Every structure is written in C-alpha cells, then in structure tokens.
Amino acid sequence: MNDSRYDVAIIGAGMSGLAAGIRLAHFGKKVCIFERHNAPGGLNSFYSFAGRKYDVGLHAMTNYVPPGVKGTPLGKLLRQLRIDREEFALCPQKQSRIVFGPNSEISLRFTNDFAVLEAEIAAKFPSQIDNGRSLVQAVRAYDDVSFDAQPVSAREVVGRYLSDPLLTDMIFCPLMYYGNAQERDMEFGQFVIMFKALFLEGFARPFEGVRLILRVLLEKYRAAGGERRMKCGVAKIIEQEGRAARLILDNGDEITADQVISSVGFAETMRLCEPARVTEAEQNTGALSFIETITVLNRQPASLGWGDDTIVFFNDSTRFDYSRPVDQVDLRSGVICLPNNFEYDGDELPEGLFRVTCLANFDRWANRPEDIYQADKKRWFTEATRSARRFLPAVDEAALVAATITTDMFTPRTIRKYTGHLNGAIYGAPHKIRNGRTHLKNLYLCGTDQGFLGIVGAMLSGISMANFHVLQGSAK
Amino acid sequence: MTKDACKKLVIDIISDIAPDEDLSGIKPEIRLRDQLQLDSMDFLDIVMELRKRHCIEVPEADYGHLASLESCAEYLTPKFPDSAKA
C-alpha cells in the first residue's frame, strides 16, 4: 500500500520541481514529486531517437560565472542545493553573436566577459554607449528577485536610455528568445533577469549536456529522502474551503498534502483545479511557441567552416518582431546553437550538432493530419536551416549534405505533447506570478510562470518558493 | 556544551552551506555578514540546520542573535540540553 499523505506534493519533475523537492526533503519534509512522463526534466529534458540521445530545451545554461564569483544566481543555487560546483562540470562558451540585417550587416559579438560586448557597442553604436552604460547600471541596481514588484514595460524603460532602435532590438533579441513569454515587449524585471543571465554572466554547458544536471538533481533528491512517482501525473486538484484538499492522480489514486507546489504552469494549474478556473487560465495563456531543427554531423561544425560561434541570434528585418507568427514558422529571425563550441577542456563532442530555433504558430501545427504534419516538418526544416545559414560563414551545400548523419525536429505540437504547456508555449504565461500564490491558500506555483527564467532561474524559483511558502513558515 | 564547541558547530554549518567561503580566519566579534558573503537565504539555512542537526529552535525575532560567532555562542550555548552540566 502506498502511503498517500505528504507534507508537500510537487507537481512536475522539471528543474524547478526537483530543486524545490531537494530543499524540502533536506529539511525533513515528507515530499513527493508527481511526474506524468517517464523522464524528468520537463522543458529541459532529453530523449533517445534511433539510438542517439538528444537534449531538448537546453542550448546553453545561462548565468554562468567563473569559480570565486559570489552573490549571483548560480552561486546561490549551488549553496541552497548543497551542490559542489564541480558536479555540474560547466564548460564556458567560446563566443556568441547577435547578427542583424538581410546580409548580416551588423553584428555584436559577446562572450562571458561583458567588456567584449561593451567594446562592440562602443565601436558600432558610439552615440549610444554612454547611455548604454547607464542602462547597465540601472540593471545592476534593480531588485530582480522582489516578489511584489509592479510590472513595468522594458521597452519603455530601455527607451529612456537607448535612442537607436537597431541597438535596442539587438539587445532585446537574445533576451526574448531565451525566456520571454510576452509578445513584442517584456516586463522590465524579466529583462533584468535575462540581461544579467546572458550578458553580465554568461553561457556554459556540461560536456554531457542537460542529462548531467538532471542526474545531479535526482541524486540529491533521492539522498535527501524525497519520493518521486514517474508516469504518474496529477489529474485534478480538488478544492475544499479555499484549500487544495486532495490530489487525484492520473491512475485514479488520491493523495493528500498539507501544501502543494505546482510547476506545470499557471493556466495549466488553473485547469487542474476542480472546479477549474477556465477564465483565469484563458486570460493568461502563452502564445509563443517554437520549432527547432537538429542536424547531426559527422564532424565538428568548425571543420565544416562554421567557425567558433556558440550561439548566434539573427534577424533580417528592419524591426525585430517577437510575436506569434501568422504563418507556421517565422523565418525572419531565430537562434543558431552549435553545442560543440564550448570550451570542453581539450575534449570534443563525438558528433557535430547544428540547431536552429524559430518562432512558430501553435494553432497552425496542432491539428494537421499526420501526413501533412510530416510534410510540413520536412519543408520547414529545409527553410529554417537555410534561413539560419545566411548568418554563418557560407558552407557548400554538398559538403553539408555529405557531413549530415541524421536530422530531427520538434514543433509546437511536440512541445505540447511532452511538456503539457498549452499552446506549446515554452516560456509559459505572459503575466508571471512572482510570489507564487494562487486562489488556494496552500497551492503555490514555481518554475516558468513564477518568473525566474532559464535553467538556473527555474531551479532558484523552486528553491525560493519552497523557502518562502513552506520552510520559512515552518521556521517561525 | 561550551561556547567554543558551540562556535565550532556554527562554523560546521556555515562550511556546509557556503563551502566556497574561507572560514579559517573568522573573527568571532565581527558580524558574519561583514566577513563572509552570506545573504538572507544563507541565514535562513543556518536556522534550519540548527533545527535539523541539534533540534534548536531560533524564532524569527531572535535572528539578530546570530549576527556574529560570539553572539551565536552567547545565544545558542544555553539552548543545548547538556549546557547546565558543562
């Protein structure tokens, strides 16, 4: 007989749910994580296909700082989860670029040393650099972990500093692609989190990719005494007298918990509630989804002639348009990731990888008959990789074809299926719930929709919500 | 429990919470915050670890007593069950 009473139940074994679980189990709470899938990781997971393992989500872990730098999210998370820095084995990026214009007219190079980006802006936008530096000061001074800050438009705040729309768009492009759930604009607090995560801190990746991070988290959680039920999602949260009284699992079992932390998203959680909060859910459901192409190569991308870029953010239009596309995919902008181009300490990944991400329209992918869906995938794969290659050094088509071992692609439909996110909206709801509170006294949100972004942000979100709502309360 | 033993327990906790801090030269009278990079999350952890490891409760109103190693020892030593005998 399974014991069915917990101090805390966590819905979802993604980064945030696992981090919350580690904190709670470490401090003696009887905690169980319920995960619908057989693999942990949620938005940052991995899968095997034709004998090959692929990461999903993770291009690069943001928030990288070198050993010895304290007081940043990475250091906080390592301390809070009692993880030794070495365990994540993070390898820093080589260099990344933001490239704009149909013929790559202007490019800003950046690395994990902020001075590089600063010098690029000074050289290419000399009239903007002084105000740019003031903006950076404002970013550094902003309290981005406040639970009750009022939302402010980042376009508006940044517009007070930068007058050149091209530079403004070039700064926004990576920050939006790596975590923004809102169309066209961004909440300033989110802008600050992302600016710090990408530009003031930086990119890194473990040689083994996201699997290593997940393995470390799972092992901590297990060692701390946390329970986990895989292939066992939560189907309903039953409300009684303003509290989440019971959880009904996918297999029909019932469990109870004093407190419930949901990492599955705001709208998704509102729909789990019984009675369901459909209107609230509809008013705050994300609209932004993506496709991603993956090309596996029999050599390092650099040896094909693609150079040392780790990540390239590109846009060919006069204004960068971060919104739900009208067509199935928006080819005008996107992100290229070459995971081979991290400093792996003399080592190299056994195969080359070339990944391209573009904005996509969920509805136009969702209900296609299977044969049309497959044909669409094939067509957009070609289009998206062709579009992205405009922003890399030219590589002969025949050479690329000869070097390609296999390809794969995910679409908004894949995202919906494997993450449960409505509309395939990776970054969740446009309006974040910073304090994690819901209409039910003992039900809290963590993860994407609480609003700390990126993998490190997701883990910190789980930590913060566990601390704030469960541990701090019980410490009193 | 002596005050010195108590200080040692607190240092053990801090070294587990913040293994990246150098604790060898801590001055007992000076505020921990002024010598180490500890934030409110870390202080909450000191409180939580005291409870977990030594069953000692520190109410929120008393957090101020944890400011320095000396004040920690002053405040925490009498809370250990065997202190009367020491």
Q: Cα distance from B65 to chain A (closest Cα, Å)?
A: 15
**Largest pairwise CA distance in chain B:** 36
Burial class of A155 by CB neighbour count within 10 A (0 to 12, 13 to 18, 19+): middle
pLDDT at position A472 is: 87
Facing residue for B44 by CB, picked from A26, A71, A467: A467
| pLDDT on residue B83 | 61
Q: Rounded to whole angstroms, how far apart are CA atoms A47 and A53?
A: 6
Tell me which residue in A28, A76, A475 faces B41 most closely, judged by beta carbons: A76
Name every residue in B having a CB less than 8 A away from some CB of A. Answer: 16-20, 37, 39, 41-42, 44-45, 47-48, 51-52, 58-60
Is the minimum CB–CB distance between A72 and chain B shorter than 8 Å?
Answer: no
CB of A143 within 8 Å of a chain B CB? The answer is no
Percent of chain A with pLDDT over 70: 99
At residue A142, the pLDDT reads: 94
Q: Say yes or no for a CB contact (<8 Å) between B52 and A28.
A: yes
Q: What is the mean pLDDT of residues A293-317?
A: 97
Which of the residue ranges A42-46, A316-320, A446-450 would you say has the lowest mean pLDDT?
A42-46
A475–B60: do the CB atoms touch at under 8 Å? yes
A2 — pLDDT class (breaks 50, 70, 90): low
Residue pair A140/A200 in contact by the 8 Å Cβ criterion: yes
Answer yes or no: do B48 and A82 touch at CB < 8 A.
Answer: no
Reported confidence tier of residue A46, pLDDT bands at 50, 70, 90? confident
What domains does chain B contain, in order, with CATH numbers?
3-81 (1.10.1200.10)
Enter the ipTM. 0.91
Residues 295-334, chain A: which have Cβ within 8 Å of B?
A: none
Average pLDDT over residues A93-105: 97
Contact yes or no for B18 and A79 at CB 8 A: yes
Mean pLDDT of A322-341: 98
Task: Give A154-167 pLDDT, tens digit per residue.
Answer: 999 999 999 999 99
Residue that wins the pLDDT comparison between B40 and B30: B30
- CA–CA dist B86, B83 (Å, integer): 5
Neighbours of A102 (CB within 10 A): 11
Interface touch B20/A467, C-beta < 8 Å:
no
Which residue type does A299 have?
R
Summarised one tens digit per residue, pLDDT across range A51-90 is 888 888 778 999 999 998 988 999 999 999 999 999 999 9
Predicted local distance difference test score (pLDDT) of residue A270: 97
What pLDDT is attached to residue A368? 94
Across the range A295-304, mean pLDDT stands at 97
Task: Give the span between the Cα atoms of B37 and B22, in whole angstroms.
Answer: 10
Name, in order, each residue with C-beta under 8 angstroms of B40's C-beta and a sequence gap of 6 or more: none
pLDDT band at A1 (very low <50, low <70, confident <90, very high): very low
Give the minimum alpha-carbon distance from A66 to chain B in angstroms, rounded to a whole number.
12
From the CA of B58, how many Å to the nearest CA of chain A? Answer: 8
C-alpha A39: how far from chain center: 17
Task: Write down the pTM of the prediction.
Answer: 0.95
Say yes or no for a CB contact (<8 Å) between A476 and B60. yes
As a whole number of Å, the end-to-end CA separation of chain B is 6
Average pLDDT value for residue range A288-313: 97
Asked whether B17 and B49 are in contact (CB, 8 A), the reply is yes
Phi-psi region of A241 (alpha: psi -120 to 50; beta: other; left: phi over 0): left
Look over chain A and give the mean of its residue pLDDT values, rounded to a whole number: 95
Amino acid identity, residue A471? L
Query: What is the model's pLDDT at position A147?
Result: 78
pLDDT given at position A3: 66
**A378 or A45, which is more confident:** A378
Q: Which residues of B touch A476 (CB under 8 A)?
A: 59-60
- Sign of the CA dihedral A460, A461, A465, A468? positive
- Determine the pLDDT at residue A48: 85
Which residue does chain A place closest to B57, by CA atoms? A475
Q: Are B39 and A476 a contacting pair at CB < 8 A?
A: no
The string of DSSP codes covering A15-34 is: HHHHHHHHHHHHTT--EEEE
**Any residues with CB less than 8 A from the CB of A178 and at least 6 apart, and which?**
A59, A62, A194, A197, A198, A335, A453, A454
- In this prediction, residues A356-376 reach a mean pLDDT of 96
Residue type, A295: T
Per-residue pLDDT reduced to its tens digit, A195-249: 999 999 999 999 999 999 999 999 999 999 999 999 999 999 999 999 999 999 9
- Chain B CB within 8 Å of residue A475 CB: yes
Nearest CA in chain A to B59: A476
- Residue in chain A lying closest to B38 (CA): A71
Q: How far is CA A299 from CA A96, A146, A207, A400, in A?
A: 20, 46, 16, 10
Q: Looking at residues B1-14, what average pLDDT do you find?
A: 94
Phi, psi of A120 (to 5 degrees): -65, -45
CB atoms B39 and A75 under 8 Å? no
The set of residues, in sequence order, having a beta carbon less than 8 Å from that of A438 and lying 6+ positions away, is A269, A270, A444, A445
Å from B18 to nearest chain A CA? Answer: 6
- Count interface pairs A-B at CB distance under 8 A: 41
Distance CA A8, CA A29 (A): 7
A85 touches chain B (CB under 8 A): yes
Give all strands of the β-sheet with A404-410 in edge-to-edge order.
A106-110, A95-100, A309-315, A333-337, A352-360, A289-297, A404-410
CB contact under 8 A, A471 and B42: no
- DSSP calls for A287-330: --EEEEEEEEESS-HIIIIITTEEEEEEE-SSS---S--SSSB-
Position B35, amino acid: Q
| Chain A residues close to B48, C-beta within 8 Å | 27, 471, 475
Cα separation values, A474 from A28, A224, B41, Å: 11, 18, 15
pLDDT at residue number A452: 87
CA distances in angstroms from B20 to A69, A79, A84, B28, listed in the order given: 10, 9, 9, 19
How large a percentage of chain B has pLDDT more than 90?
86
| Most confident of the following: A6-20, A135-149, A404-418 | A6-20
Beta carbons of B60 and A84 less than 8 Å apart: no
Nearest residue, CB atoms, A79 vs list B42, B48, B59: B42
Among A315-319, B10-14, B36-40, which is the least confidently predicted range? B36-40
Distance from CA of A83 to the nearest CA of B (A): 10
Identify the CA nearest to A213 among candidates A22, A426, A362, A7: A22
User: How many residues are listed for chain B in this entry?
Assistant: 86
